[in-house]
Structure 1
Amino acid sequence: MSIRPVLETRPAHPTLEGAGVKLHRAFGFQDPTELDPFLLFDDFRNDRPEDFAKGFPWHPHRGIETITYVLSGSVTHEDSLGNTGALGAGDVQWMTAGSGIMHQEMPTASATGQMHGFQLWGNLPAAQKMTDPRYQDVQAKEIPHVIDDDGTLVKIIVGSFWGKTGPVDGIAADPQYLDVTIPAGVRKTLPIDTYRRAFAYVFEGAGAFVDAARPTGVLLEKEVLGQELNIRDMSGNRTLVRFGSGDEITVQAGPEGVRFLLITGAPIQEPVAWHGPIVMNTRDELKTAMQDLRNGTFIKAAH
Structure 2
Amino acid sequence: MSSATTVFHPVTEAVTRPRELERLVTGQATSDGAGVKLTRVLTQPLQRRLDPFLMLDAFGTDNADDYVGGFPDHPHRGFETVTYMIAGRMRHRDNAGHEGLLQNGGVQWMTAGRGIVHSELPEQQAGRMEGFQLWLNLPAERKLADPWYRDIQSDEIPEFTTDDGSTVRVIAGESHGVAGAMQREVTQPLYLDVHLAPGARFDQVLPATHNAFVYVYRGEVEVGGATVGSQRMAILKNGAERDGIVLQAGDAPAKVLIIAGRPLNEPIAQYGPFVMNTHEQIFQAVEDYRSGKFGG
1:278 to 2:271 alignment? no
Change (3 A) 1:203 1:108: farther
- CA offset at residue 147 of structure 1? 0.7
More displaced, 244-253 or 286-295? 244-253
**Equivalent of 2:234 in 241, 248, 254:** 241
Match of 1:79 among 85, 90, 94: 94
Give the counterpart letter for 1:152 in structure 2: S
Asked if 1:59 is matched to 2:74, the reply is: yes
TM superposition shift of 1:41: 0.1
What TM-score, normalized to structure 2? 0.90
Pairwise CA distance, 1:170 = 4.0
Same amino acid, percent of matched pairs: 41
1:132-171 pair list within 5 angstroms: 132-170=146-184
Bigger drift between 115-124 and 247-256 goes to: 247-256
2:112 equivalent to 1:97: yes
- 1:125 is displaced (CA, Å) by 0.9
Q: Check the 8 A contact 2:172/2:192 in 1, yes or no.
A: yes
Q: Is the 8 A contact 1:72 1:110 kept in 2?
A: no
Q: In structure 2, what is the Cα distance between the partners aligned to 1:170 and 1:237?
A: 29
Q: 1:130-164 CA deviation, whole Å, 9 max, x = no partner? A: 00000121110111111111112111111111121
Q: Is the 8 A contact 1:15 1:25 kept in 2?
A: yes
Residues 73 and 110 in structure 1, CA contact (< 8 A), matched pair in contact too: no
Q: Which amino acid counterpart does residue 106 of structure 1 have in structure 2?
A: L
* Inter-partner Cα distance in structure 2 for 1:299 and 1:207: 43
Cα pair 2:17 2:243 within 8 Å, conserved: yes
Deviation at 1:29, TM superposition (A): 2.3
Match of 1:226 in 2: none
Contact 1:152-1:181 within 8 A present in 2 as well: yes
Distance 2:228 2:263 in 1: 25
Question: What is the root-mean-square deviation in Å for CA atoms of aligned residues?
Answer: 1.5
Task: Name the CA distance, whole Å, in 1 between partners of 2:284 and 2:186.
Answer: 23
| More deviation, 69-78/168-177 | 168-177
The residue number in structure 1 matching 2:21 is 6
**Shift of residue 298, structure 1, vs aligned partner:** 3.2
The Cα shift of 1:201 comes to 0.6
Residue 185 of structure 1 aligns with an amino acid whose one-letter code is: G
Q: Could you tell me how far apart the structure 2 residues matched to 1:166 and 1:41 are?
A: 20
Give the Cα separation in 2 of the matches to 1:180 and 1:143.
Answer: 13
Unpaired stretches in structure 1, ≥5 consecutive residues: 212-232
Deviations 1:197-228 (A, max 9, x none): 111010011112133xxxxxxxxxxxxxxxxx
Aligned to 2:141: 127
Counterparts of 1:20-39 in structure 2 under 5 Å?
20-39=35-54
**Aligned partner of 1:133: which letter?**
P
Per the alignment, in what secondary structure is the counterpart of residue 251 of structure 2? strand
Distance in 2 of aligned mates of 1:197 and 1:248: 11
- Cα drift, residue 171 of structure 1: 5.9
Q: Which moved more, 1:137-146 or 1:290-299?
A: 290-299
Which of the pair has more CA radius of gyration?
1
How far, CA to CA, are the matches of 2:202 and 2:185 in structure 1? 28
Deviates more, 1:276-285 or 1:191-200: 191-200
State how far apart, in whole Å, the 2-side matches of 1:120 and 1:171 are: 18
User: Which residue among 186, 200, 208 is the counterpart of 2:214?
Assistant: 200
C-alpha separation between the residues in 2 aligned to 1:31 and 1:263?
14
Partners of 1:167 and 1:149 in 2: CA distance: 22
Give, as a single letter, the amino acid of the residue that structure 1 aligns with 2:121: M
The reply to whether residue 252 of structure 1 matches residue 267 of structure 2 is: no
1:172 Cα deviation from its structure 2 partner: 4.3
2:283 and 2:131 map into 1 onto residues whose CA distance is 32
Q: TM-score, normalised by structure 1?
A: 0.88
Cα offset for 1:108? 3.9
Structure 2 letter corresponding to 1:181: H
Q: Please name the residue that 2:4 is paired with.
A: none
2:261 equivalent to 1:265:
yes
Q: 1:39 to 1:234 in 2, by over 3 A?
A: same
Aligned to 1:228: none
